[in-house]
Amino acid sequence: MAEWERRLTVLVGAEPIAIEDRERMVRAFPQVRFTFANSRDDFVAAAPEAEVIFAKGVPQEALEAAARLRWLHAGTAGVDRLLRMGIRERHVILTNARGAHGIPMAENILAMALCFATRMHLMIRTQRERGRIGRRVIADKWELHGQTMLVMGLGDIGGTLAMKAKAFGMRVLGVRRSGRPFEHCEAVFAPDKLHQALPQADHVALCLPLTDETHAIVGERELRLMKPTAHIYNVGRGASIDGVALRRALAEGWIAGAGLDCVAPSDTPADDDPLWDMENVILSMHTSGSSPYNSQRITDIFMENMRRYLAGRELANVVDQEVGY
């Protein structure tokens, strides 16, 4: 057998890994045989030889064909789709890109909150029609400083949001599975105490992976517990908020508004969804995790784990496949 055939084979889903990041992987690991898949067909064709896969998305056919797979590194933080594809049954190590998306996603939430506070979203909407809504804006605007932000999920995204919201002069509360304190939160609640936290919040931000525990964690009861002046934000998975209850809450005024990067049932709303026409809704259409630094950050995390893998050390960002993150 030729020397190159004995080398560790790594299949990389080329999108969204920039050329310069592909090149630095190859330079850093000359003992590794890298295959960069630029299309779905490339991915499926290369999968049978791969011991390691690094990709943002993995075709079902490729996963089924990857008979030699030992480690799959997701270029995303959320791995619910991979878990639904049967990765648990493969007994493959699964790691993710936790740490790569906290900054842009936290900034996305704060941008939406600032729009609601300054009424900037209304001014932008009416600008083309020469709308003169200055008096209304002056009467309705408010400040984030001094308000309460409840952050649900204190991982990379939620933890970054908590830090940035605190820097804005906000009171920050948190919800996390363990209920353990967090340095940027005044108080942290376990999920079974969520109902104590919701009535205190002016802003509720869901920064959660999608698991059995977080599916519809916010439903009608939770929305009715929020202040009628409160806003809700979701940058995790749309299904974490009951979609029917959310649309009712917004239409009937149970809450003041919503900033949604994802929304059930399909994350990006259908063309006839009433959310498009609600002036108390900002839709960022699943863009919150995007950044010009995504490729670099995702690659950095993978390369650190590649070093660990080659040295036989424990990997970072290992997903608990029973818990879901």
Q: What is the DSSP string of 2-69?
A: -HHHHSEEEEEE-TT--HHHHHHHHHH-TTEEEEEE-SHHHHHHHGGG-SEEEES---HHHHHH-TT-
pTM of the model: 0.93
Q: Which residues of the chain have pLDDT under 50?
A: 1-5
Q: Which residue, chain included where needed, has tokens 């030992």?
A: 70
Q: How many C-beta atoms surround the C-beta of residue 229 within 10 A?
A: 11
In this chain, the answer to whether the domains covering 3-100+292-311 and 102-283 adopt an identical fold is yes
Which tokens go with 87?
């990765």
pLDDT at 5 (0 to 100):
45
Q: Give the C-alpha distances (Å, rounded to integers) separating 80 from 86, 88, 97, 162.
A: 10, 11, 13, 24
At 257, which helix (H) or strand (E)? strand 257-260
Summary mean pLDDT of the chain: 95
**Cis bond upstream, residue 181 (ω within 30):** no
The pLDDT score that the predictor gives to residue 6 is 52
How far is 207 from 236, CA to CA, in rounded Å?
5
Q: What DSSP line would sit under 272-300, residue for residue?
A: T-GGGG-TTEEE-TT-TT--TTHHHHHHH
pLDDT at 4: 40
Structurally, at CATH architecture level, domain 3-100+292-311 sits in 3-Layer(aba) Sandwich (3.40)
User: Domain map of the chain by residue range?
Assistant: 3-100+292-311, 102-283
Rounded Cα–Cα distance for residues 152 and 194 (Å): 9
Q: What angle do CA 165, 263, 283 make, to 5 degrees?
A: 65
The predicted structure's pLDDT at residue 7: 80
Nearest-angstrom CA–CA distance, 178 and 43: 38
Please report the pLDDT score of residue 267 as a whole number. 83
Predicted local distance difference test score (pLDDT) of residue 264: 92
Q: What is the pLDDT of residue 3?
A: 41
Q: In whole angstroms, what is the distance from residue 6 CA to residue 45 CA? A: 19
Q: In the CATH hierarchy, which fold is given to the domain comprising 102-283? A: Rossmann fold (3.40.50)
Rounded CA-CA distance 325/311 in Å is 25
Tally of CB atoms within 10 A around 57: 14
Closest Cα partner for 117 from 217, 242, 20, 259? 259
Question: How far is the CA of 238 from the CAs of 142, 149, 274, in angstroms?
Answer: 28, 20, 16
Do 110 and 118 form a contact (C-beta atoms < 8 A)?
no
* 252-287 residue pLDDT tens: 999 999 999 999 998 889 999 999 999 999 999 999
